[in-house]
Structure 1
Amino acid sequence: MNYLILDPSQKTNSGEFKISNQDRIVHILKVLQKKEGDKIKSGLLNDSLGIFKILKITPQEILGSYTPIIKPKRRSPGINLIVSVQRPPTVEKILELAGVWGVQSLEFRLATLSRTEYLTSPVWKEENIKEKLILGMEQGGNVFLPKLDLGFVPPGKNIPFEKKQSISERVSSPQTFLYLDKKGKFIQEFLPLEEKEYSILVGPEPGWTKTELEIFRKYNIPGVRLSSSVLRSEQAVSFFLSQWENSVSRLEGQRIRK
């Protein structure tokens, strides 16, 4: 934890913040070795970065005050990650990466070759998803919680899953899409980035089918190449976000010099 992310729901009537999550309490006391009167770099969800001062510690909670210092801005252009259903450990890694970097939104949807047995995992529960996103945000110092959308309803007891909208159906909406593909163009070839938002399609482990690729061509969606190597899904997301940030930074630098 590099930053403690506070939620407005933790604010008490007196204006202080109460931390009752036992994992965070243990981390603050045992790992960070903080005590009453100490300060922690912090952030208020979707608002600001600042300092949290510990006022009181009990076995059940930590009470403290929060002082905002700066108002960060969302990344621009915004990135909407649209990821095909992956194996649960991969989903957890992608959630943390999305939280670290600060994507605008994150969607998980079924692709043709997605493994539907993965939908039985508890990883899709809202509280588990938010926990992984927050862990990433606390690592990266990002205060903006990505908007989340599942293109399916996970199965329940004796109830099969329900598909809402697949990736192939999703691309018909009026957005600027790019899909990750080893045969695509490098990000630098798409410069300058003139749109306010870009939606990035991440395929399943077996890859895109011919039918899906034909649909992408139908809607004039270009492919993005990240490496000459075959990447795991979480590696592809990490490579993309890193290369995208580098390209945007260079572009901004060129504009400033002009």
Structure 2
Amino acid sequence: MNLILLDPAELDATGHAWLRDPRRLRHLREVHRATPGDELTLGIVDGAMGRGRLLHLDEAGARFAIERLDQPPPAALPVHLVLALPRPRMLARSLEHVTALGVKQITLLHTRRVEKSYWQSPELGAAKVREHLILGLEQARDTRLPQVTLEKHFKPFVEDRLPALLTGRRGLLAHPGMPAPCPRGIDDDSVLLIGPEGGLIPYEVERLLGAGCEGIHLGERILRVETAVTALLARLF
């Protein structure tokens, strides 16, 4: 936790912040080894970052005096990530990784090789998704929560939503066997589409290319989704 990220509801009218959840309290005690008087980096969800002084810490809660909030969060990546819904454990890691890298728009998409049971996972609950996004923000010292959209049907997404997403953006379909290597260091506003662990079926590839996406690849190696996502974002941006 490189940033103590505060919900606006945790602030009071006196300029103090109260933390009472066990995860952050445990981190303050065991990792930061914080004691009253320490100055730590704070941020407000979807707001600014700054510094605060720890006034009190025990098993029940921590209280900070906010000294300044004058630093904007880091710039977001210019990309909308469309990711075929991974299996639940991989979803949790992927959300944390892409959030830490600066992705602010995420669409989770159903494709043929996505197990239907994945859509029933508790990991897709709003509270669990937010938890993983918060962990990514804390890691990267960022405050802006990504927006996560669920698309449970492939064809309506391609026909009805994808054209609007691609307006003014570069569409990049990352899939093994595509003709072009992944570009490096682009600054185009982009939509990056990544298939599931078992890959996209030919029909899905055809529809995405037909919608205006460029096919790109990362070489001959077949990577796990969480590895491929990180590698693609790092190489592209």
TM-score norm. by structure 1 comes to 0.82
> Paired residue for 2:93?
93
Q: Return 5+ residue gaps in structure 2 as ranges.
A: none
Out of 200, 204, 215, which is 2:207 matched to?
215
Give ranges in structure 1 of 5+ residues lacking alignment: 153-162, 246-258
Match of 1:256 in 2: none
Match of residue 206 from structure 1: 198
CA distance in 1, matches of 2:83, 2:4: 27
Q: CA offsets per residue over residues 151-191 of structure 1, 9 Å max, x none?
A: 24xxxxxxxxxx597653442335132111123323337x7
Q: Give the count of matched residue pairs.
A: 231
- Residues 110/62 of structure 1: CA separation in 2 closer, same or farther (3 Å cut): same
Other-structure match for 2:183 = 188
Q: What amino acid is aligned across from residue 111 of structure 2 in structure 1?
A: A
Query: Given the two structures, how large is their TM-score scaled by the length of structure 2?
Result: 0.89
Q: Which amino acid aligns with 1:35?
A: T
Tell me the equivalent position of 1:171: 162
Contact 1:38 1:54 in 2 (8 A): yes
C-alpha change, 1:50 and 1:227, in structure 2 (3 Å) is: farther
Deviation at 1:92, TM superposition (A): 0.5
1:21 Cα offset (Å):
1.0
User: What's the counterpart of residue 2 of structure 1?
Assistant: 2
SS of residue matched to 2:149: strand
Map Cα deviations across residues 45-66 of structure 1 (whole Å, 9 max, x no partner): 2222211211122422111123
Match of 1:44 in 2: 44
Among the aligned pairs, what percent are the same residue?
A: 23
Alignment of 1:244 with 2:222, yes or no, is no
CA distance in 2, matches of 1:39, 1:131: 25
Q: Give structure 1 regions of 4+ aligned residues with deviation exceeding 3 angstroms.
A: 163-170
> 1:186–1:225: 8 Å Cα contact kept in structure 2?
yes
| Distance (whole Å) between structure 2 residues aligned to residue 98 and residue 73 of structure 1 | 14
Q: CA deviation at 1:242?
A: 1.1
Q: CA deviation at 1:192?
A: 5.5
| Change in 2 beyond 3 A, CA 1:57/1:166 | farther
1:120-135 matched pairs, under 5 angstroms: 120-135=120-135
Matches of 1:111 and 1:164 in 2, distance apart? 6
Once the two structures are overlaid, the 10-residue window that deviates more, 229-238 or 179-188, is 179-188
**Match of residue 146 from structure 1:** 146
